């Protein structure tokens, strides 16, 4: 079992280095949240791990296979039925059966033959989750997957993601700008700043994590300070 290993990753857009000799290690099966201000390079790092951004300048990037992604938008093919979207790129005759099993896990077992455009935002995002899970990933990248959902749907999605993580045990890297979401879900929280991992904190609290827990409140304040919003929040 290998996790993620990144050494000396630099990524420039023009002359600005978005990622600057970044090092990162993720243990197999760990749940990590990556925080950062907008433009801090969170998404660039995730895209590099997903293989969507070319690695240059001699960096070492080791990622387990298969690696799958859930994006901020569901990104379903509107012309393919729900199960076909989940089975996209799967080989073999049992593609539909596997898609069906994955959809049942996210609670959409009855929507196999629905068209994506008839789904609600939350349902579509669950299909995207099923599509990522059906490949039995060893690394699951979540790129702000709950940002576009309403608050209630988001809470349900948090529970679902934790449940699926426990059941399948992939390493999860959740990119988010929501400090509370990071603390609720992850065992380890990273803050990306100036192209490097500036903060790296293990969160050793039992789940579900009570918002009133004093340790949690302290963590929240700490992360918000590193994100530069110290003076703005009471």
Is 55 a binding residue for another protein by CB under 8 A? The answer is no
For another protein, the closer CB: 56 or 120: 120
Which positions from 81 to 120 touch another protein by CB under 8 A, shown as an x/- string?
-------xx--------------------xxxxxxxxx--
Q: Which residue has the tokens 């992604």?
A: 69
DSSP string, 123-135: HHHHHHHHHHHTT
For another protein, the closer CB: 81 or 188: 81
Q: Tell me the C-alpha to C-alpha distance, in Å, between residue 116 and each of 75, 76, 83, 124.
A: 10, 7, 10, 7
> Interaction with another protein in 164-223: which residues (CB under 8 A)?
none
For another protein, the closer CB: 73 or 225: 73
| Cβ atoms of residues 25 and 33 within 8 Å | no
The residues, ordered by sequence, that sit 6+ positions from 99 with a Cβ below 8 Å of its Cβ are 83, 84, 86, 87, 90, 112, 130, 134
Minimum gap (Å) between residue 59 Cβ and another protein: 20
* Residue ranges binding another protein (CB under 8 A): 50-52, 66, 68-69, 71, 73, 75, 77-80, 88-89, 110-118, 131, 135
């Amino acid at each position: 079992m290998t996790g993620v290993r990144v050494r000396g990753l630099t990524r420039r857009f023009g002359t600005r280095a978005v990622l600057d000799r970044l090092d990162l290690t993720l243990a197999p099966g760990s749940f990590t949240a990556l925080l950062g201000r907008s433009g801090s390079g969170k998404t660039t790092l995730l895209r590099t791990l997903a293989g969507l951004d070319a690695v240059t300048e001699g960096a070492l990037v080791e990622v387990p296979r298969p690696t799958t992604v859930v994006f901020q938008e569901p990104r379903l093919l509107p012309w393919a039925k729900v199960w076909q979207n989940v089975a996209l790129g799967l080989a073999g005759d049992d593609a539909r059966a596997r898609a069906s099993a994955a959809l049942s896990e996210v609670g959409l077992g009855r929507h196999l033959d629905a068209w994506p455009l008839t789904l609600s935002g939350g349902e579509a995002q669950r299909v995207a989750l099923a599509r990522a899970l059906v490949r039995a990933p060893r690394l699951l990248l979540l790129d702000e997957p709950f940002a576009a959902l309403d608050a209630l749907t988001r809470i349900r999605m948090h529970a679902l993601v934790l449940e699926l993580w426990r059941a399948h045990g992939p390493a999860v890297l959740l990119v988010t700008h929501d400090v509370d979401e990071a603390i609720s879900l992850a065992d380890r929280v990273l803050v990306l700043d100036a192209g490097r991992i500036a903060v790296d904190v293990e969160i050793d609290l039992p789940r579900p994590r009570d918002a009133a827990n004093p340790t949690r409140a302290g963590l929240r304040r700490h992360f918000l300070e590193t994100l530069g919003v110290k003076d703005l929040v009471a």
